[in-house]
Structure 1
């Protein structure tokens, strides 16, 4: 084989590889939804809530290659897991509201005895998005929209309680003091905050676990490099469960369901989690 033939074959092979990667990223991987189970140790957790299961998902970005019909399998799988709580951490839409009402009808099928809770993401509050309509859609789907507020969940037999707090999106200058007002010191607070890097602020409000999305895990990842599309406030705690710097708090960041900017995923499949809370299990 001469040099010219070698170069032609090398270029053809590289081109074929890039084509396969592109087809996988565009048509295959972004449709391969993963279900992960994880146990998180929270010493502040009241005894009555030992083993509580939270279904956490985020970042649907409806309208960006994802329709209401596409999320029906997700609803079925979450119900199959039988969670106690369902938590959605923002970016229901991407840049448009066309699928909103239809998606609310689908999400209404989610079941959780201790409730369904949701917050707004940055795509829900800017561009063509209408945050008030999104909040109405959350309510129509049976979710409690948390916008700078919290709810107290009390165990019916023991009277022990935990708190679920939800922060308005960072792009709307959320009210931190209002969000966490009147939660007793030492209480077990689980915060739904779209941008994970805000955990460095949440730790000062007695939060023991923050649930976030926003980062998409980078959306496109390469071996030895990692993600390449991390957004602002999604770079320090971009993926999975991490200990928050200089605290005992944890932040769990979901890679999300949908996509943004480009309708592709590579080595970064969409995911949702069942988080089992425990006072004892070590990571």
Structure 2
């Protein structure tokens, strides 16, 4: 109750300071002031209604719209709050000094300066436009990210082998079939040898994927499509009538993976094989593809790396699919068997951040995950963290675009 009260007071403070900026800049414009309060009240009522009616068990785009409206309203106001509160501190000390020195008559606080309110509102328009772009365009602004990795012990037969990695589809959030089909076509255009999906097919339950099965069935790769489970795939974040219903949901999700043409790896491994360059009939070269169930620091830890690597030779070239990148730091990089490349997702890059190659790469995700997006190397092992194909909760992406990764393996 106390936390709720503090939160309400904080929201009231944000709105009050934002109103001060509008009032200072438009002192005679009554309609502007009315529009400000009308919009704020509408947002709060809409969000309150959304939370009261939200059901994780139902596929609903209403929740996403609610979150986007809340973010669109609050983030610019926070920018205004910083400026206006900062000005109030300046006004307080200026008033105190003038009162002590006797150089000021009348009100204790000096009047608000118009240019401060003007600066605050202009700067707050930047995140407003960015968020609006992220909701309307950014969430389907697919980009292809390519990396070439060299290894001493890569079998020669796999020199030039290509992998397309996708992650975090979150099918329950999609709202535009045409743009989604464009993304699927873009994956196929990469013409990689294999497609690897690193988890989170849905938000909460298997039924979310039903409308999109025909779309994702179009994915093609000559050497197969393989997948693992992410933390959202288990149905851990919604209430079930009983454990049997939860288990049936996971079984249905596994069946959908088959319908999509993906081989789901659950703490197991398979060999990707090519004819040996020796030309001897029946002789093959192979690399090991390992898939673990979700293992995350602070999340469910269903993954069993020991079980997943049973019967594998220490000398084999290994690629691991593990949904959560924290698994790499906690277990993988120190694992007894050398795993050359780990593919993860999970973070989405928080769907918000700034990335200018060669200059800056930052997202709030970096506060939680040291390895949150892109390629990393440690102890001779590589980790790639995909920024995600879909989106969750906030139906948009600002600065962190949906990603299709293409990795080419080369013999050093």
Same structural fold, with TM-score higher than 0.5 when normalized by the shorter chain: yes
2:332 counterpart residue number: 202
8 Å Cα contact 2:140/2:180 also seen in 1: no
Give the structure 2 partner of residue 163 of structure 1.
Answer: 288
CA deviation map 1:80-118 (0-9, x unaligned): 111100000001111344431232322221111111000
CA distance in structure 2 between the aligned counterparts of 1:99 and 1:69, rounded to whole angstroms: 17
Which is bigger in relative contact order (C-alpha 8 A, separation at least 6)?
A: 1
* Partner Cα distance (1:239, 1:44) in 2: 26
Aligned alpha-carbon RMSD (Å): 2.3
* SS of residue in 1 equivalent to 2:408: strand
The aligned residue for residue 237 of structure 1 is: 371
The equivalent residue for 1:91 is: 200
Once the two structures are TM-superposed, the CA of residue 68 in structure 1 deviates from its matched residue by: 5.9
Structure 2 gap ranges (5+):
1-24, 26-110, 239-245, 278-283
Residues 293 and 303 of structure 2 are in contact (CA less than 8 Å); yes or no, is this contact kept in structure 1? yes
Q: After TM superposition, give the deviation of residue 10 of structure 1 in Å.
A: 2.1
The structure number with the bigger radius of gyration is 2
Structure (1 or 2) with the greater helix fraction = 2
- State the aligned residue count: 276
Deviation (angstroms), 1:276: 0.5
After superposition, what is the alpha-carbon deviation per residue over 1:114-170, rounded to whole angstroms, capped at 9, x for unaligned?
A: 110000000111224833222111111111100000001221344111011100112
Q: TM-score, normalised by structure 2?
A: 0.62
- Match status 1:115 vs 2:213: no
1:67–1:96 Cα change, 3 Å:
farther
Contact 1:219–1:228 (CA<8 Å) still a contact in 2? no
2:364 counterpart residue number: 228
Query: Could you tell me which of 248, 252, 259 is aligned with 2:380?
Result: 248
> Are positions 1:133 and 2:252 aligned together?
yes
- Taking the TM superposition and a 5 Å limit, the aligned residue runs for 1:1-283 are 4-66=113-175, 70-125=179-234, 126-128=236-238, 130-158=249-277, 159-170=284-295, 171-200=300-329, 201-203=331-333, 204=335, 205-222=337-354, 226-229=362-365, 235-244=369-378, 247-280=379-412
Aligned-pair CA distance for 1:242: 0.4
- Normalising by structure 1, we get a TM-score of 0.89
Q: Secondary structure at the match of 1:178?
A: helix
